[in-house]
Structure 1
Amino acid sequence: MGDMRNVSLDRRFGGILSWDSFFHLDHEHQRRMFAVFAAHASPGAMLMFNTGPQHGEAIGDYRGDPLYHASLAPEEYQSLINQSGFETIDHVVEDPQAGGRTVWLCRSR
């Protein structure tokens, strides 16, 4: 197993998916992940990740164990997306087709 915060694969990909994982990082580590995404994205690569709908932290429950969740404000995600060389293609808050998840779909410029 690896830690997404430290991944360095020395190659670029046409797609990056961070689904049901990214929001388990604290706020600062989420901010830093955009450099990791950018380092692994080919020009035109798609990036898809999900977050909570607003800034905050919560402790949920998974099979009886506590599970940490955090999200930044949508405006901060948008700024980080832009700063790291991506553009937002779609953003749906609490998408019923995605089980109520807040979804971001981006493309590398």
Structure 2
Amino acid sequence: MSQHASRIVAHYEHHALSWDADRRAAAWTDKPPIERFLALLRPGATVLDLGCGGGVPVATHISAQGFSVTGVDSSPTMITLCRTRMPDQQWVVADMRSWTSGRRFDGVLAWDSFFHLGHDDQRRMFPIFAACTASGGILMFNAGPAHGEAIGSYRGDPLYHASLDPSEYAAVLRHNGFELIAHSAGEPANGERSFWLARAGRADPMV
């Protein structure tokens, strides 16, 4: 499985234009969780979109609601699309696993991106989430319903996905200073996405 996980960055750059076109053509079934995330933010809040892709439909919707977006994606082609579509927002070519800015955002979103990371990389993302999220800020990410790995397929190429167990996500959120607001286990009303919504607060000391 590890060889497939290591190819994710190259996969998305290789298929960037096709992936963007397919995403734009598809029905936006996962809009309700995004709306729930945005409803918890103050007007004009800053949002960090990790794994923003070409920006459609998520980042364009966030921007249209008056929020300030910083999008990060490992694909230069995807970021070029974002810069063309939303030149007034900020776009960065970077791997979320190593990106730092020194800024803290009111909202941090890792949507349909975090679940492409291997188990250990997912665990290492939580201190990064904590470093990027302002006190009282909102974090939302999606993954799978249970611990495991799966290989899908996109245009004939393998596409890696992974998830920790929900109990581990709850624990690492707590240890990194997040209070769990909600967890959805793939309901149809949420586009069958399993997601976690949390608020940044005080870190739970590791014992």
Q: TM-score, normalised by structure 2?
A: 0.52
My pick for the range that moved more, 93-102 or 33-42, is: 93-102
My pick for the range that moved more, 71-80 or 97-106, is: 97-106
Deviating above 4 A after TM superposition, structure 1's stretches of 4 or more consecutive aligned residues are none
Q: Secondary structure at the match of 1:10?
A: coil
Give the structure, 1 or 2, with the largest relative contact order (CA under 8 Å, sep 6 or more): 1
Q: What is aligned with 1:66? A: 158
Q: State how far apart, in whole Å, the 1-side matches of 2:187 and 2:100 are.
A: 31
Please state how far the C-alpha of 1:27 moved relative to its aligned partner: 0.2
Code of the aligned partner of 1:12 = R
Task: Looking at secondary structure, tell me which structure has more strand per residue.
Answer: 1
The equivalences for 1:11-50 within 5 A come to: 11-50=103-142
Sequence identity percentage: 57
- The answer to whether the 8 A contact 1:95-1:103 is kept is no
User: Structure 1 regions of 5+ residues with no counterpart?
Assistant: none
Please state how far the C-alpha of 1:38 moved relative to its aligned partner: 0.3
Q: What is aligned with 1:52? A: 144
Task: Looking at secondary structure, tell me which structure has more helix per residue.
Answer: 2
Counterpart of 2:101 (choices 4, 9, 15) is 9
My pick for the range that moved more, 21-30 or 91-100, is: 91-100
Q: Secondary structure at the match of 2:102?
A: coil
User: Structure 2 regions of 5+ residues with no counterpart?
Assistant: 1-92, 202-207
In angstroms, what is the RMSD of aligned CA positions?
0.7
Code of the aligned partner of 1:33 = M
Q: Secondary structure at the match of 2:97?
A: helix
Q: Secondary structure at the match of 1:4?
A: coil
Q: State how far apart, in whole Å, the 2-side matches of 1:102 and 1:23 are.
A: 10
How many residues are treated as equivalent by the alignment? 109
